[in-house]
Amino acid sequence: MRGKILFSAAAAVIAATCALAPAPAQASGSLVTVRESYMPGTIVVHTSERALYLMVGGGQALRYPVGVGRIGKQWSGTSFINGKYLRPAWTPPAEVRRDKPFLPNVIPGGSSHNPMGVAAMTLSGGEYAIHGTNDEGSIGHFVSYGCIRMHNADISDLFGRVGVGTRVVVTQ
């Protein structure tokens, strides 16, 4: 009888612990096989594919659809995440202001008019970021001034998986 009570108590503790433990993160991106040999944790953006890959190792990556720079606004190279922001305000860069002088100086975070969506990760070496978007129809297209746009659910997922200092490689 004593053994049965101890077993029941242990089972109850295990069940309670599992119920209180946070659920594992659910990947928004698709787990795919890749031929590239980047270090796990590296973000690779293939502009021509309009896809962002988070390398997870073992020849696999999480693949997310993205919107990328329009023709003439694309770039390639290596950068690093140098900042992470939830519900970021947005100040239009000079090039955007020239093309769209009617924009306000700052669009507050959380505004439906804010092109940064729910989160942004700024990149070293320029005015670019990997960010969400409130224009879901822009994903999969050549639409930005050089930033990498993601569905809000996808940027939220990626935001939780990477940190400041993460290497970002952008290819044509």
Does a structural domain hold residue 122?
yes
Does a structural domain hold residue 142?
yes
State which residues form the domain around 156: 27-171
Does a structural domain hold residue 92?
yes
Give me the torsion for CA of 135, 25, 80, 65, rounded to 10°. Answer: -40
Report how far residue 23's alpha carbon sits from residue 1's, in angstroms, rounded to the nearest whole number: 35
Q: Which of 18, 46, 113, 147 is catalytic?
A: 147
pLDDT band at residue 7 using 50, 70 and 90 as cut-offs: very low
Does a structural domain hold residue 158?
yes
Report how far residue 125's alpha carbon sits from residue 106's, in angstroms, rounded to the nearest whole number: 22
Report the pLDDT value the prediction gives residue 66, as an integer from 0 to 100.
Answer: 98
Which of 50, 44, 108, 114 lies closest to 77 in space, CA to CA? Answer: 44
Does a structural domain hold residue 7?
no
Give the pLDDT confidence of 84-107 residue by residue, as tens digits.
999 999 999 999 999 999 999 999
**pTM of the complete model:** 0.82
Residue 18 catalytic? no
Give the pLDDT confidence of 103-143 residue by residue, as tens digits.
999 999 999 989 999 999 999 987 899 999 999 999 999 99
Per the structure, how many domains does the chain have? 1
- What's the DSSP call for residue 109? T
Give the pLDDT confidence of 37-85 residue by residue, as tens digits.
999 999 999 999 999 999 999 999 999 999 999 999 999 999 999 999 9
Does a structural domain hold residue 13?
no
CATH of the domain at 163: 2.40.440.10
Does a structural domain hold residue 4?
no
Q: Which of 18, 113, 131, 141 is catalytic?
A: 131
Question: To which H or E segment does residue 94 belong?
Answer: helix 94-99
Does a structural domain hold residue 9?
no
